[in-house]
Each structure stands twice: as structure tokens, then as C-alpha cells.
Structure 1
């Protein structure tokens, strides 16, 4: 179940709509099971370089939230 949720959120980060990306990134940051999925962490790291600064900032914030679980 957790894998499906995380997979869906990662897929939503690939959409062209930046608001959808930001919402999905935020949800990944709030969902502690994300740290178990290397694909999600890799995607968040990629999004730190997104041309839209709001998406990049959201990815950085999500990663900082997840760092508390390590």
C-alpha cells in the first residue's frame, strides 16, 4: 500500500502543472514512508534543480523534513 502511494506521488511530480508538482512534493515530505523508497528520494533531489524556484524550494523543504527520520 505504501509503495503505491509513494509511486503515485512520484508520478504526480512529473506533471507539467507546477501546482500539482508542489502538492505532490509536499505530500512526499510529510509521508515518512518516503525514506524507504530510493526512487522518491532521488526524484526529490532532481526536483531541487527544477527551473521553477517554487518547485525547487518545495523539494528542498521535503528533503529537510525527511532528514528528521534518519
Structure 2
């Protein structure tokens, strides 16, 4: 189940709708899982370079949330 949640959230970060992307990014930061966590971190690192400032900031905030769990 955890793998499906993380996979779905990662897939949502590829959507064209920025509001959906930001919500998925935030959820990735809030969802603490040992399964597929590295994939989520890799995607968040990519999103830190997004040209949309709101998306990049959201990715950075999510990474900071996750950093306390490693």
C-alpha cells in the first residue's frame, strides 16, 4: 500500500496543473515511508530546479521535512 501511495504522488508531480503538483509535493514531504522513499527524494530534488518558483519552494520544504527522518 505504501508503495502505491508514494508512486501515485510521484506521478502526480508530472502533471501540468501546478496546484496538483504542489499538493503532491507537499504530501510527499508529509508521508514518511521506508518504501520508495529514495524515488520520492530523487523526484523532489529534480523539482527543486523547476522554473516555477512555487513548485521549487514546495519541493525544498518537503525535502526539509524528510531530512529529519534519515
TM-score norm. by structure 2 comes to 0.94
Q: Is the 8 A contact 2:2 2:35 kept in 1?
A: no
Displacement, 1:37? Answer: 2.3
Would you tell me which structure has more helix in proportion to its own residues? 1
Runs of 4+ in 1 over 4 A off after TM superposition: none
User: Any gaps of 5 or more consecutive residues in structure 1?
Assistant: none
Q: Is the 8 A contact 2:2 2:33 kept in 1?
A: yes
User: Any gaps of 5 or more consecutive residues in structure 2?
Assistant: none
Aligned residues: 70
Match of 2:25 in 1: 25
RMSD (CA atoms): 1.3
